[in-house]
């Protein structure tokens, strides 16, 4: 266990190191995506898939090793958002069509909004009201599969595979809005109570 100096003390345990590795993979995915290496698209998609799996791994380690921390609770969603937004921006550059950019923009806007909502709820010690729910987990799973499919494919791939990625992006956008509405509904009583105060 490594402790950094400063106040407050941040503990870099196994779970947090895995989370940090997810952030460090982001520039590598970008480099692979734009490289001229053979199968660079598959390499980028493969590394993105590994980075996505670390989201499950860091949570598992935190629970298994009893390594939950405030730093980990902060860093984990930040790492997730950075990874997803980066990938969606790369894909939007490759697929600059309104029917693709629109659901991508919806997903990114939702990620920013929910992150801000959770931080705001944390100021009232109500963050648990907007913790990740079942719909949010389904959204994340579909989203990651869609990104992996679209990042891996190129013009040589069969069109049905490419269209599968497009369909999954739309499904992910729908689940993104659905989960956002759920989180906002959970936060509304606190919003109203603060307005009265």
Convert the pLDDT of each residue in 13-26 to its tens digit: 888 888 899 999 99
**Statement: residue 8 has pLDDT above 60:** no
Q: Nearest 5 degrees, angle CA 84-CA 67-CA 54?
A: 25
Residue 197 is predicted with a pLDDT of: 57
Mean pLDDT of 164-188: 92
- State which residues form the domain around 106: 2-196
Rounded to two decimals, the pTM is 0.85
Domains of the chain: total: 1
Task: Name the residue with higher pLDDT: 83 or 127.
Answer: 83
For the chain, percent of residues with pLDDT exceeding 90: 50
3-state DSSP helix/strand/coil percent for the chain, to nearest 5? 80, 0, 20
Residue 5 is predicted with a pLDDT of: 46
Tokens 């069109």, residue located: 159
CB 150 within 8 A of CB 165: yes
Mean pLDDT of 165-175: 95
Task: Name the residue with higher pLDDT: 85 or 156.
Answer: 85
The rounded Cα 138 to chain-centroid distance in angstroms is: 12
Residue 195 is predicted with a pLDDT of: 61
Convert the pLDDT of each residue in 23-58 to its tens digit: 999 999 999 999 999 999 999 999 999 999 998 888
Number of alpha carbons in the 13 Å side-chain half-sphere of residue 79? 26
For the chain, percent of residues with pLDDT exceeding 70: 92
Assign residue 117 the CATH number of its domain.
1.20.120.1760
Task: Name the residue with higher pLDDT: 83 or 135.
Answer: 83
Mean pLDDT of 180-186: 88
Residue 172 is predicted with a pLDDT of: 95
Convert the pLDDT of each residue in 51-105 to its tens digit: 999 988 888 888 888 877 777 777 888 888 999 999 999 999 999 999 999 999 9
């Amino acid at each position: 266990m490594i402790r950094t100096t400063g106040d407050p003390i941040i503990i870099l345990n196994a779970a947090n190191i895995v989370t940090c590795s997810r952030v460090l993979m982001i520039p590598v995915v970008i480099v692979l995506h734009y490289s001229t290496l053979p199968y660079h698209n598959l390499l980028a998609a493969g590394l993105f898939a590994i980075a996505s799996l670390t989201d499950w791994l860091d949570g598992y380690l935190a629970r298994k090793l009893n390594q939950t921390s405030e730093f980990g609770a902060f860093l984990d969603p930040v790492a997730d958002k950075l990874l997803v937004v980066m990938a969606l921006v790369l894909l939007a550059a490759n697929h600059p069509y309104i029917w693709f950019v629109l659901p991508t923009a919806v997903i990114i806007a939702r990620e920013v909004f929910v992150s801000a909502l959770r931080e705001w709820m944390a100021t009232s010690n109500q963050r648990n009201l907007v913790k990740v729910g079942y719909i949010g987990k389904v959204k994340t799973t579909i989203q990651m599969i869609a990104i992996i499919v679209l990042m891996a494919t190129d013009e040589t791939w069969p069109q049905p595979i490419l269209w599968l990625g497009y369909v999954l992006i739309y499904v992910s956008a729908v689940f993104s809005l659905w989960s956002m509405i759920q989180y906002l509904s959970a936060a509304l009583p606190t919003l109203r109570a603060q307005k009265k105060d």
